[in-house]
Amino acid sequence: MTTSQLPAGVLVLERGWLSSNNILFVGSTSTALVDSGYSTHSEQTVDLVGASLKQRPLDVLLNTHLHSDHCGGNAALQRAYPELQTLIPPGQAASVSPWDAVALTYVPTGQHCPQFQFNGLLLPGTEIQLADTPWQIHAAPGHDPHSLIFFEPQSRTLISADALWESGFGVVFPELDGEQAFDEVAATFDLIEQLDPRWVIPGHGPVFAYRPAILAHARQRLNAFVSNPSRHAQHAAKVLLKFKLLEQQLLPFADFVNWAQRSSYFERIREKFFPSMAFELWIEQLLGELVRSGVARRDGAMVYNA
């Protein structure tokens, strides 16, 4: 989709929740893409980018952060465009070079991301030229300690990744690891307020016009998590379960439980926040909440995405 108020040469490919949005930049001399979606959608990502660029190559690929739904298409794009230059946040560069799938969170979350290479780093406090326009690079820790956002001050357009959605923000994953990161989320909200964007291109969902009420709602949600961290932990576990359903669409409940047991984030969350519950009973409870919310369905031994 396109939004006429965005800077010239910017095309937003809205993807949903399994894959992040892709933001394509077409300039007079170069092209670029921000985020590449999830691995199971990588063929579609390559097709969408190719159809949008027509005969032009993709020159630069940027990742806001290295969660699997934002960089799972990197390897496929690198194969499709052999001269592609890939730029990533600096914080996890040391884990990409030897490909540490545990440190990159793919093993603990039970998600997939094919190995890719990178050519350079996106340094907070600098600018990058995208579609003939300079975009500011800002650190935006919280959801991910190494996450970045991009801001174009003339049009006041913000690429917010998962730091801010129209209806909230992404799971604060460092909190699940026992790190204090809610304050970083609040600081990122303060930064966004100072930037005062007009348009926000989120990591998931449609482009939206920024208004103070959106940030006020996000702060209210954050405060609820701060006052009750187990609520955030329960939310995070349901997000990971829903992600698996988006990926698989249907699977036996026994396989669902076995997958969760192999994905260490679940046991980490259960041990810290819900130690009195048996693992399978806890997953059953979480699935029941997803079913009651209308985002999952269970029929006997089978679990379905809804």
Q: Tokens 């669902």 correspond to what residue?
A: 256
Q: Evaluate if residue 1 carries a pLDDT over 60.
A: no
Average pLDDT over residues 124-137: 97
Architecture of domain 10-226: 4-Layer Sandwich (3.60)
User: What pLDDT sits at residue 5?
Assistant: 80
- As a whole number, the mean pLDDT across the chain is 96
Instruction: Give the span between the Cα atoms of 57 and 294, in whole angstroms.
Output: 42
Structure tokens at 296: 């999952």
Structure tokens at 4: 């006429």
Q: Evaluate if residue 2 carries a pLDDT over 50.
A: no
Instruction: Give the span between the Cα atoms of 32 and 129, in whole angstroms.
Output: 9
Question: What are the sequence ranges of the domains in the chain?
Answer: 10-226, 230-305
Q: With respect to CATH, is domain 230-305 assigned 1.10.3470? A: no
38-94 residue pLDDT tens: 999 999 999 999 999 999 999 999 999 999 999 999 999 999 999 999 999 999 999
For 107, list phi and psi in degrees, rounded to 5.
-70, -50
Average pLDDT over residues 137-155: 97
199-257 residue pLDDT tens: 999 999 999 999 999 999 999 999 999 999 999 999 999 999 999 999 999 999 999 99
Maximum separation of any 2 CA atoms in the chain, in Å = 60
Q: At 130, which helix (H) or strand (E)?
A: strand 127-130
Q: At 92, which helix (H) or strand (E)?
A: none
- pLDDT band, residue 168 (cuts 50/70/90): very high
CA gyration radius for the chain?
19
User: What pLDDT sits at residue 73?
Assistant: 98
For 129, list phi and psi in degrees, rounded to 5.
-85, 120
Distance of CA 133 to CAs 26, 49, 149, 195, Å? Answer: 10, 20, 16, 17
Q: What angle do CA 214, 131, 189 make, to 5 degrees?
A: 20
- pLDDT band, residue 114 (cuts 50/70/90): very high
Distance of CA 69 to CAs 37, 199, 229, 258, 304, Å? Answer: 5, 23, 25, 22, 20
Q: Give me the DSSP letters along 201-245.
A: EESSS--EE--HHHHHHHHHHHHHHHH-HHHHHHHHHHHHHHHHH
Structure tokens at 95: 């884990």
- The pTM assigned to this predicted structure is 0.95
Instruction: Give the span between the Cα atoms of 189 and 200, in whole angstroms.
Output: 13
Of 221, 112, 90, 232, the C-alpha closest to 168 is: 221
